[in-house]
Structure 1
Amino acid sequence: MNKMKKIAILAAAAIIAVSCSNGTKADEAVTGEAQEVEVITEATDYELVEGSYLKWRGFKSFVDWDHLGTIGVQSGTFAVSEGQLVGGSITIDMNSIAVVSIKDEGKRGYLEGHLKSQDFFLVDTFPTAVFEIIKVREEATDEASSVVVGNLTIRGITNSIEFPANVTVEAGTIQFTAPTFSIDRTKWNVKYHDSEDATIAETLKEDLIDHSIELTINVSATNA
């Protein structure tokens, strides 16, 4: 198939995208170049507790199709100074990607393997993702009390992100939650068959999958 016909097909897909969407997306995190992380020397360290996790949602733009899942947190520490969260790092276990929206075991396993493969997160090469907190500023919204700024590294690529969150520090415990927000996965090179020799079918599949991944954070830490 010649190049002009391929362009025509992709243009048609773009037109469909305008008229067919998969509901309202969560607000996208502000994304930019990686920022310098300050070394915190005078602070109390809090260790993440077992059971901390992230929820995710992926979907297609042109059809009524989405899937939900979780990703486990491998480890992490928070730094607290004068009762305020001032830094920290969360290591995410990409091998723990799980799909919770598919009941059939075979289909669920297939999608989990697909997400872990070189088509998406390439977990054999990049088994972890890391979020490093740069700063937390008080900025109240309807759903959050603060804005968290940090560096997110996925597939060896680091970008800064900024999103609303709720952070509470009391009685030796930190609760860090974030209302659902989205990131553009392509900024971390998470693309289906991202190569110059990708077939038309593979290119169309990538175009059908929305670039946004929705994330919800729920982690706890303690200094005990």
Structure 2
Amino acid sequence: MRTFAEKLNPSIKLITILILVILISFQYRTMLNLSIFVFSLLLVFLGSHNAPKKVLKILIPAFFAAFGLFMMGLYYARGSSVTATALSDVSSMPYVVRAAMSRNLTTALQLSTRLLAFAGLGIYFALTTNGEYFVRSLMHQCHMSPKFAYGMLAAFHLLPHMANELKSVQLSYRVRGMHVSFLSRRVLFTMLVNSIHWSESLAMAMGSKGFDGDAPRTWCEIPEVHLSDILLSVFSIAAVVTAMVI
């Protein structure tokens, strides 16, 4: 059974997130970035069935990237740099150096928290949106051609097969006493050849079933735009704009 966040119309959700990302890109408020990040995680935890461990695993790369941006902004923002030796004795620094460090700290927090806000919005969309429901919404709300939509669905359903194929190829090389890495050209070439075969089989199957992207068809489920979708979208955008203006 879908939860509140999963029932929201995916197209409206995507458009809202894109608008929020554009707005965040033009503001420099640390607290606003943190608020968006926390609110996105609350929607994921309270509005979906995702386990906290799963969310935390996805957040680990985001935290590393945010920490990297923080250190870069702290040491090299505004064309200045602060050495580790200088940091060991802050009280002996001239006022100009301490002022530069203060500006660098502000810039570092702005950069790192902005990345966390982007990550929170991305995680919210990815973990609360069903792939097939999203593609159906693109067809009905955004009028995407069924040819592209069914192509996206085919690629979406091929991803698990590609992961299993990767394990099979690596296992076949290990059986022969050959160690190959994840990015080995041999493994990638084998997966590429198999992917081409799968795509040809899918194309033949769709053609044999009489698939026509322009023909009228019936639908088992038609995504609809409800009042809750509009209200949540307007509230989210208005809240961010208000926080930027105040």
The structure carrying a bigger strand percent of its residues is 1
TM-score (norm 2): 0.24
Q: Which has the higher contact order (CA 8 A, sep 6+)?
A: 2
TM-score (norm 1): 0.26
**Larger CA Rg, structure 1 vs 2:** 2
The structure carrying a bigger helix percent of its residues is 2
